[in-house]
Amino acid sequence: MELQETMSFSIRARIGNLMFDIHLDTSFLSADAPAMRNRHNHAMTELHFVASGSGRLALNGLEVPLVPHHAYLIPPGLYHAILTDKRTPLRKYTFRFEYIELQDDFDCPPGEIEALKAVFPPTDYRCIPNQSGFLERLQQIARELEERRLGYYTKVQNAFNEILIDLIRAMTTRTDRFDPLPTRGTDDVRSHLIDAYFDHYSSHLTLEHLAAQLHLSTRQTNRVLQHMYKKTFSEKLADIRIEAAQERLVNTDLPISLIAEQLGFASPSFFTKTFKKRTGITPHTYRKTNKKSLGLTKKGG
C-alpha cells in the first residue's frame, strides 16, 4: 500500500516543438492531493486546481483564498504552503511540469512557439479564475489512468494539451490572430477532385470530362492518375466499378445484366470480360462461391 501511495506518473505532451514533461502521483486519481502546511518549493512549475472545498495558499507573506474551479500556478523555486479548511476540506488536483524545446522541423504557425515560451515558466504566482472546463478534463485524465483502456495514454496527452493551451491563453494578453494553417498543395486539391469524380462511377464518366474539371489536357490527366494511383483513367474506373460489382453480387440477388447496367458497363458481355480480367473468374462464379462461403445461398438453389 505504501508503494501505491508514492507511485508517480510521468506524461509527455507536445505543443509545437515544445515537449512538456508532466508529473503527478496517485493522489491525482481521486482529486485528493494533500495539503502541505510546511513551506516548500519545487524545481518545476506546479498547478493546483481546486475541485471543491476551501483553503488558503500561503506565499510571499500572503494567504490567498483557494476557491473551487480556480487554478493556481506556482513558479519553480517559490516557497509556499497549502492550508485546508477543516469544515470544508480541500479536494484538488495537482501536477507539476516543465518543458524542453526540441530541435526539429515541426509544423506550427509562425510566432506561436515564441508566444508560448513567453508565458512558461511563470515568474510569479498566478491565479487563473473560473476554469470550470478543467474539472471535466482532469476527471477524464484520472479515469483514463485508472482504466488504462486501449489508447488511454493518447487521450491523457490530448487532455493535458488542452489544459496547457487554456492556461497559456488565460495568462497572455495577446489577442492577435496567428497565420492560418498551410493551404492544400496542388496534388491534394487534385486528389480530392479526382476522388469525388470517381464517386459517381455508375454515371457516364470520361477522361475528357475529368480533364476539364482539373483544367488539364487528357494526356496531363492520365499522367496525374499514373503518379497518384499508378493507374490510367480506364484502369481506375474499371477497378472501382468491379469493386462495387463484387459487393452487389454477394449482397443482392440482382441479375448480373442489371448490375452491369447500373455500374455503367456498355454491355453484360463487356462487364463479364472486364470482371474476369481483374478477378480471374466470371461474375456468376464469384457470386456462387462467395454467397456459399457466407452461407447466403438459398435452400434448394
pLDDT in tens, the chain (301 residues): 233 445 688 999 998 888 999 999 888 888 776 667 788 889 999 999 999 999 999 998 889 999 999 999 999 999 999 988 889 988 999 999 999 988 876 666 767 778 888 888 888 899 999 888 899 999 999 999 999 999 999 999 999 999 999 988 888 877 777 766 655 566 778 888 999 999 998 888 999 999 999 988 999 999 999 999 999 999 999 999 999 999 999 999 999 999 999 998 889 999 999 999 999 999 999 998 887 666 555 544 3
**Residue spans in the chain of domains classed CATH 2.60.120.10:** 2-171
> Left, alpha or beta for 240 (phi > 0: left; psi -120 to 50: alpha)?
alpha
Look at residue 55 and give its three-state secondary structure: strand
**213, three cell numbers:** 474539371
Q: Is residue 63 a contact partner of residue 116, using CB atoms and an 8 Å limit?
A: no
Domain topology for 2-171: Jelly Rolls (2.60.120)
**Residue spans in the chain of domains classed CATH 1.10.10.60:** 186-293
Helix boundaries (H) for 172-280: 186-198, 207-214, 218-229, 233-251, 256-262, 268-279
> Does the domain made of 186-293 have the CATH classification 3.90.226.10?
no
